[in-house]
Structure 1
């Protein structure tokens, strides 16, 4: 009968199973943390590039981007402070699809909003 050894190590044949189990546990842990923290990998598109700011067409829902330091082109104006869209489909981007500014700078329903 073989003597029991106190420092017994698993055979090489049993190690790959343990490694796979540890790797699977690590992957599951990362997935759980991502799900619990609300982590998402969605791409969010900015309204304008760096060095630009968005402008709104007066009387319409169209707009464009203007280089920082330049004035808005004729027929466009800056968005009211605090109501500037930053990302596509954010709160203010959606708001300005149904609203616009008139020639006096007042917010009105957009004529083409239906």
Structure 2
């Protein structure tokens, strides 16, 4: 029992020291998040490749990293229009 408890404490300490997060990442390793033009649709694209047709990269500094973070929440109500402007998503419907 002591071994299991010690192992659990060691794992928690390692996560804290490494700065790891237990939050759900928007995309997996080797991918980056992209936003559907004119909607709040989201996807992940392979790093090193352009976004798929109909999707754009998020603006610098406004990229969601984890589910429910500030930018993930923001992009649930905003989108990028066909001209590249950030707009209220309800205005595009």
Using the size of structure 2 for normalisation, the TM-score is: 0.73
Aligned twin of 1:66: 45
Could you tell me which runs of 5 or more consecutive residues in structure 2 were left unpaired when the two chains were aligned: 1-8, 10-20
- Runs of 4+ aligned structure 1 residues displaced above 4 Å come to none
Aligned twin of 1:47: 26
Question: CA–CA distance in 2 between the matches of 1:88 and 1:113?
Answer: 24
Question: Deviation of residue 112 (structure 1)?
Answer: 7.8
Equivalent of 1:87, from 44, 53, 66? Answer: 66
Change (3 A) 1:112 1:50: farther
Using the size of structure 1 for normalisation, the TM-score is: 0.60
Larger radius of gyration: 1
Question: CA–CA distance in 1 between the matches of 2:84 and 2:62?
Answer: 13
Question: Residue 39 of structure 2 contacts residue 92 of structure 2 at CA under 8 Å; is this kept in 1?
Answer: no
Could you tell me which runs of 5 or more consecutive residues in structure 1 were left unpaired when the two chains were aligned: 1-29, 31-41
Question: CA–CA distance in 2 between the matches of 1:113 and 1:107?
Answer: 11
Question: Deviation of residue 43 (structure 1)?
Answer: 3.5
Quick one: higher RCO (CA 8 Å, sep 6+), 1 or 2? 2
Question: Residue 47 of structure 1 contacts residue 54 of structure 1 at CA under 8 Å; is this kept in 2?
Answer: yes
Aligned twin of 1:20: none
Question: CA–CA distance in 2 between the matches of 1:89 and 1:113?
Answer: 23
